[in-house]
């Protein structure tokens, strides 16, 4: 019976050990699950914070770009929509005011238009003449460039020949003195 007690005690000890081990494993798993859940919550909070920061940064960037574009457009002096609308209203008001006066001044307006047309025609003709003169000058410059180069070469050749003649004369004079 001593052996039976020993076997029973061993079995009971094995059960106790396995039960304690199982309890420890379960406790560790609960701890791991708890830590994992906390980390998941922290990660979600970080993601939300990053998204909020990104939105805020994007809005600030858009505001800065919008402000800069407006200041650059104002610096250039482009007309805004309100400026254009205001000018359109002024034009309409002026046209309404001038409608009765047009009948009386129609002849003067026609005369002004014809004078203006003549001035435009004269300016166009003057531009054409100026363009032709410029083209003629360029053509002359192109033609004269080779001539100038040829003259320079001829002058250089003449100078070289004159120097050679002087050298020959000196050599001849030196040879005659030596005799």
Which one-letter DSSP state was computed for residue 179?
-
Q: Check whether 49 has a pLDDT greater than 80.
A: yes
Tens of pLDDT, residue by residue over 117-152, are 666 666 666 676 666 666 666 665 555 556 666 666
CA 84 – CA 147 distance, rounded (Å): 60
Rounded to 10 degrees, the C-alpha dihedral 4/9/12/18 comes to -120
Residue 88: pLDDT over 90: yes
Residues 6 or more apart whose Cβ sits within 8 Å of residue 102: 109
Average pLDDT over the chain, rounded to an integer: 78
**How many Cβ atoms sit within 10 Å of the Cβ of residue 67?**
10
- Could you tell me the two tokens for 98? 């001038």
The fraction of the chain above a pLDDT of 90, given in percent, is 30
Start-to-end C-alpha separation, the chain? 161
pTM: 0.33
Q: Give which of 167, 129, 143, 158 is closest to 175, Cα–Cα.
A: 167
Cα 159 to Cα 177: distance, rounded to the nearest angstrom: 27
Over residues 64-85, the pLDDT tens digits come to 999 998 888 888 888 888 889 9
């Amino acid at each position: 019976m001593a052996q039976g007690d020993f076997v029973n005690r061993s079995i009971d000890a094995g059960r106790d050990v396995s039960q304690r081990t199982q309890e420890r494993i379960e406790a560790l798993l609960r701890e791991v699950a708890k830590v994992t859940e906390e980390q998941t919550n922290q990660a979600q909070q970080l993601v939300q914070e990053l998204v909020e920061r990104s939105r805020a940064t994007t809005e600030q960037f858009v505001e800065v770009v919008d402000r800069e574009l407006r200041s650059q457009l104002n610096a250039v002096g482009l007309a805004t929509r309100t400026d254009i609308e205001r000018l359109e209203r002024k034009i309409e008001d002026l046209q309404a005011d001038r409608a009765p006066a047009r009948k009386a001044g129609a002849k003067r307006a026609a005369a002004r238009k014809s004078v203006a047309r003549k001035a435009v025609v004269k300016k166009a003709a003057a531009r054409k003449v100026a363009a032709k003169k410029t083209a003629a000058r360029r053509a002359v410059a192109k033609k004269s460039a080779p001539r100038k180069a040829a003259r320079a070469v001829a002058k250089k050749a003449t100078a070289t020949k004159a120097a050679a003649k002087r050298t020959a004369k000196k050599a001849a004079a030196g040879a005659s003195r030596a005799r």
